[in-house]
Amino acid sequence: MNARLQGHAASNPTSTGTALLSVDNVSLEYRTPQRVVRATHQVSFEVDPADRFVLLGPSGCGKSTLLKAIGGFIAPCEGEIRLQGQTVSAPGPDRIVVFQEFDQLPPWKTVKQNVMFALLASGTLKRREAEERALHYLDKVGLAAFADAYPHTLSGGMKARVAIARALAMQPKILLMDEPFAALDALTRRKMQEELLLLWEEVRFTLLFVTHSIEEALVVGNRILLLSPHPGRVRAEIHSHQYDLHSLGGVGFQHTARRIHGLLFNEGQPPETERELDFTDIRIAY
């Protein structure tokens, strides 16, 4: 078990300096016409290569804003974000974002062209190689048969798959996913989580995943960073490498889920589980 940390210092005190991504005391603010709102306050954490790092928190904890800052879309007002030692200052093809919204795929390009477009526009590959790689990754997400379909003819889950294929084809240093499955129905979401984990087994990419679902965080991630609401501050870091989709409903899984719930919503100690499990405790996720 990892020790409780004082305040919100670096999330991993035993960091060895091999981190792929380091977020160092980052505060983020956004502007409304009337005032400036602080979204996160001095958040620090480090992501190692091949981590499946999850940012988890209630809505309004600034987790999406944090992800956008790592993507380079928002500049931090304090602190620094470094990718392999390089300070992040602008969006770039080394950090590909998978958004929640379905309109992230340009509708005027077919599925294959969508994946190729990312490769060509960023100057990663020439046309021939781009096409080859696009088809390879489309095959991986099971959409080879739909290569020439336009996005508006696809279902939500298929669009999410295209976005993932596009991101993987870019072979970014880190893959940023902003609640990618939140707009999907429960069955599709579960299938997508399963496929994402299978892809990770195969490709071993580094993933930063934002979600507001405790179950999804436990299933998808190997490390979970809990953020407190308004403004987002680091509350804890939890290991979840031992859980997968088969752990749903298991005792250990439920215990960790309840612990996270306690950390997120009550300020005190998480309630210990001496009592019998009853029907209301069994949440078969979604």
Partner 1 sequence: MSHLSPVREEYEVDLQPLTHVPLERELPLGQRLWQQGWLRKSLILLLLALLWEGVARYQNNDLLLPGFLQTASALYDGLLSGELLGKVWISLVVLIKGYLLGIVLAFGLTTLAVSTQFGRDVLSTLTSMFNPLPAIALLPLALLWFGLGQNSLIFVLVHSVLWALALNMYAGFLGVSETLRMAGRNYGLKGLRFVLFILIPAALPSILAGLKIGWAFAWRTLIAAELVFGATSGKGGLGWYIFQNRNELYTDKVFAGLAVVILIGLLVENLVFDSLERVTVKRWGMQR
How many C-beta atoms lie closer than 10 Å to residue 236's C-beta? 20
Q: Specify the 3-state DSSP secondary structure of 42.
A: strand
How many C-beta atoms lie closer than 10 Å to residue 43's C-beta? 28
- Taking the complex as a whole, the smallest distance from the CB of residue 233 to partner 1 amounts, in Å, to 25
Site string for partner 1, 89-108 (x = CB under 8 A): --xxx-xxx-x-x-xxxxxx
Report the residue from 57, 62, 76, 151 that binds partner 1 according to the rule CB under 8 A. 151
Strand partners, 53: 208, 223
CA atoms lying within 13 Å on the CB side of residue 173: 18
Nearer to partner 1, 108 or 265 (CB): 108
53 binds partner 1 (CB under 8 A): no
Site string for partner 1, 131-150 (x = CB under 8 A): -------------------x
Nearer to partner 1, 267 or 279 (CB): 279
List b or e across 111-140, with b for residues whose CB sees 16 or more CB atoms inside 10 angstroms. Answer: bbbbbbbbbbeeebbeeeebbebbbebbeb
The answer to whether the Cα torsion of 275, 278, 280, 284 is positive or negative is positive
262 vs 28, 110, 120, 214, 259, CA distance in Å? 26, 45, 47, 11, 5
Binders of partner 1: how many residues, by CB under 8 A? 27
127 binds partner 1 (CB under 8 A): no
- Taking the complex as a whole, the smallest distance from the CB of residue 122 to partner 1 amounts, in Å, to 5
Nearer to partner 1, 64 or 256 (CB): 64
Report the residue from 2, 15, 84, 153 that binds partner 1 according to the rule CB under 8 A. 153
Q: Using a CB cutoff of 8 Å and minimum separation of 24, what contacts does 185-188 make?
A: 185/156, 186/286, 188/155, 188/156, 188/157
279 binds partner 1 (CB under 8 A): yes
Report the residue from 63, 68, 159, 212 that binds partner 1 according to the rule CB under 8 A. 68
**Interacting residue ranges for partner 1, rule: CB under 8 A:** 68, 71, 73, 91-93, 95-97, 99, 101, 103-108, 117-118, 121-123, 150-153, 279
